[in-house]
Amino acid sequence: MQIVTRPFDLSGCEFSAQLDPLLQRIYQSRGVENQTSLERQLSCLPEPQSMTGLQAATQRLAAAAQVQQSVLIVGDFDADGATSSALMLLALRAMGFKSVDFLVPNRFDYGYGLTPEIVDLAAEKSPNLIVTVDNGISSVDGVARANHLGIDVIVTDHHLPGAVLPAAAAIVNPNQQGCEFPSKNLAGVGVAFYLLIALRAELRKQQWFEQQQIPEPNLSQWLDLVALGTVADVVPLDQVNRALVHQGLLRIRAGHSRPGIQALLRIAGKNPARLVATDLGFALGPRLNAAGRLDDISLGIQCLLCDDHQQALHTAQELDELNQDRKSIETGMQQQALAIVEQLGLDHSAMPAALCLFQPDWHQGVVGLLASRIKEKYHRPVVAFARGDNGELKGSSRSIPGLHIRDALDAVATQNPGLITKFGGHAMAAGLSLSEDKLAEFENAFQAQVARSVSTDDLQAKLVTDGSLEPQQISMHTAELLRDAGPWGQLFPEPCFQGDFRIVQQRIVGEKHLKLVLSPSNQPEIAIDAIWFNIDTARWPNHQAEIVHCVYRLDINEFRGVENLQLMVQHLQAG
């Protein structure tokens, strides 16, 4: 593990003199160089008009409202898809749509996106209009099938488009060619939110709300859903996404969130008043995702839609049980995957540039998490496969900084026609399908493509820190300052620091977590609680270690209503 200090240069920055110097340094190192870029109010969001396809989409939806056509929301089977589906359903109903429903196909029966088979299933509900959320940009055949059946389709998506776009009535996706919307990082739920902003404006212009004698909905009431979907989908937290997440967190902290989100927080043991963005990603997101991974994401959507607190709590408990099952399945798969890699008998430097893993009994809904875990351990792009139907493998890939995984798959597909059945995704995560008898051919082609695309340095795991803190900065005040300076997340990482400490105490808690008391090496009279999760128990506790170099985050631990400073250890290196 290479520990690197994040560089910063404040010479050209325009921050307020009141902004703490530590925050100035942290913000600049993340690409923020002026006070305006730190704004998190809704007023700082770019206007919808620059997003390609919005006008056509809103006019088609407004026309559907005028004659009360049936609208069907077709979502994806993850937390982004669940929050997008719930958001669209709640907002359209509040805007006076009488016939609006949702459909999220089972991933194991129908696969990803608006496929022809899903359209046939949707047609049983006799919709006049299908609106996709968090999917559809690659659904050329599915949209063609819908057109054949006389069903219009509006695609809302954020995934990268292919060479051919579906022939939809409208496509709303900031990543489509020619779209001038300034943020390309919206999650699916963010795209849906922007569509609803534009639709409300169109209906207002048509005096729809007055005609129907209904109040014009305040869309900010659903920003809790937008925040959850944005963080859970691990999209980059640019200024637009930071503003959306920040405003959603404010609503949750104030107790104004959906009953389903409140129930999930209760099940996860999280205090809503102290909620931060990482809680959405690590506590709520996995519970929603578990439904889509093991069963049917509709359960998660119903939780988010629920207006009754008791029913919401019951559904949240079901989601929690699914998440426990997911953890058990994932643990077994991870042990098998680690054994496969270890059988290669290679040290890190001799390991191939990418890893392809497959076991016949692996769970299709969990291979994405597996790929992520193995990527984190070996710092290699990973594709993990599970069996689908009819001799096909379903793969999920995770990448490292320096490799755009969807572009890598595109290159493999272009150079090897017919090898990959279909693929799609982002820079850091993608999915694909191929015939099982082509697995070895794919592995060779994929590893060769990655080897051409990355450097030796890219394959070296790095832990990037924000440097060191003075002993007086290791305090509750600094921890609170950093917590309030977020939200932190993808490509806007939560600050972490490094320094030398003396170990005062160390012991195992919860089977694989290391509880410590540390003192700054030059101030032994100071004692600070610390915890390191999921340690290698073969190496720690290390009672021979007295002085350690520690990489850590500042955290506020709340126990029985009492708050104390705690270091969240990322790495320990004995001196």
Q: Read off the pLDDT of residues 233-260 as tens digits, 9 standing for 90 and up.
A: 999 999 999 999 999 999 999 999 999 9
Structural tokens at position 266? 């209760």
pLDDT digits (tens, 9 = 90+) for 277-312: 999 999 999 999 999 888 889 999 999 999 999 999
Chain-centre distance for alpha carbon 452: 28
pLDDT digits (tens, 9 = 90+) for 547-570: 999 999 999 998 877 899 999 999
Go through the domains of the chain in sequence order and give each one's CATH number: 44-318 (3.90.1640.30), 344-453 (3.10.310.30), 464-574 (2.40.50.460)
pTM over 0.85: yes
Residue partners of 548: CB distance under 8 A and separation at least 6:
500, 501, 503, 518, 572, 573, 574, 575
pLDDT of the residue at 168? 98
Average pLDDT, rounded, for the chain: 94
Query: Is-contact 568 465, C-beta < 8 A?
Result: no
Report CA torsion sign: 286, 78, 308, 317: negative
Query: Is-contact 527 517, C-beta < 8 A?
Result: yes
Q: DSSP class of residue 280? A: I
Task: Give the alpha-carbon dihedral of 397, 401, 335, 108, to 10 degrees.
Answer: -20
* Residue of 152, 86, 87 lying closest to 119 (CA atoms): 152
Residue 457: pLDDT over 80? yes
Q: Provide the pLDDT confidence category of residue 530 given band limits of 50, 70 and 90.
A: very high
pLDDT of the residue at 511? 82
Q: Provide the pLDDT confidence category of residue 5 given band limits of 50, 70 and 90.
A: very high
CA dist., res. 81 & res. 300, Å (int):
10
Backbone angles phi, psi at 535, to 5 degrees: -80, 170
Percent of the chain with pLDDT over 90: 88
* Residue of 218, 228, 212, 328 lying closest to 268 (CA atoms): 228
Residue 536: pLDDT over 90? no
Q: Provide the pLDDT confidence category of residue 426 given band limits of 50, 70 and 90.
A: confident
Q: DSSP class of residue 489? A: B
* Residue of 355, 286, 352, 361 lying closest to 321 (CA atoms): 286
Residue partners of 288: CB distance under 8 A and separation at least 6:
78, 79, 82, 83, 228, 232, 264, 297, 300, 303, 304, 319
Mean pLDDT of 197-220: 97
CA distances from 228 to 3, 80, 248, 378, 379 (A): 31, 8, 8, 29, 27
Query: Is-contact 91 258, C-beta < 8 A?
Result: no
Q: Which residue has the tokens 């129930």?
A: 263
Mean pLDDT of 472-496: 96
- 497-509 and 462-465: which strand pairing? unpaired
CA dist., res. 344 & res. 215, Å (int):
64
pLDDT of the residue at 77? 85
Backbone angles phi, psi at 323, to 5 degrees: -65, -35
Q: Which residue has the tokens 């919206």?
A: 186
pLDDT digits (tens, 9 = 90+) for 269-284: 999 999 999 999 999 9
Q: Provide the pLDDT confidence category of residue 419 given band limits of 50, 70 and 90.
A: very high
Residue 109: pLDDT over 80? no
| Least confident range of 54-63, 344-353, 409-418, 421-430 | 344-353
Lay out the sheet containing 392-398: strands in order across: 355-358, 382-387, 392-398, 429-435, 422-425
pLDDT of the residue at 170? 98
CA distances from 106 to 127, 225, 247, 295 (A): 19, 22, 32, 7
CA distances from 180 to 44, 51, 211, 241, 303 (A): 17, 6, 34, 17, 35
pLDDT of the residue at 113? 85
Query: Is-contact 187 233, C-beta < 8 A?
Result: yes
Structural tokens at position 54? 């919005």
Q: Terminal CA-to-CA distance of the chain, rounded, Å?
A: 15
Residue 108: pLDDT over 80? no
Q: Provide the pLDDT confidence category of residue 575 given band limits of 50, 70 and 90.
A: confident
Q: Which residue has the tokens 């899903």?
A: 118
Identify the bridge partners of residue 392 per DSSP, sorted by sequence position: 435
Q: If you write DSSP's letter for every residue of 186-206 in order, what string do you get? A: --HHHHHHHHHHHHHHHHHHT
Say which amino acid occupies 542: N
Q: Provide the pLDDT confidence category of residue 379 given band limits of 50, 70 and 90.
A: very high
Mean pLDDT of 391-397: 94
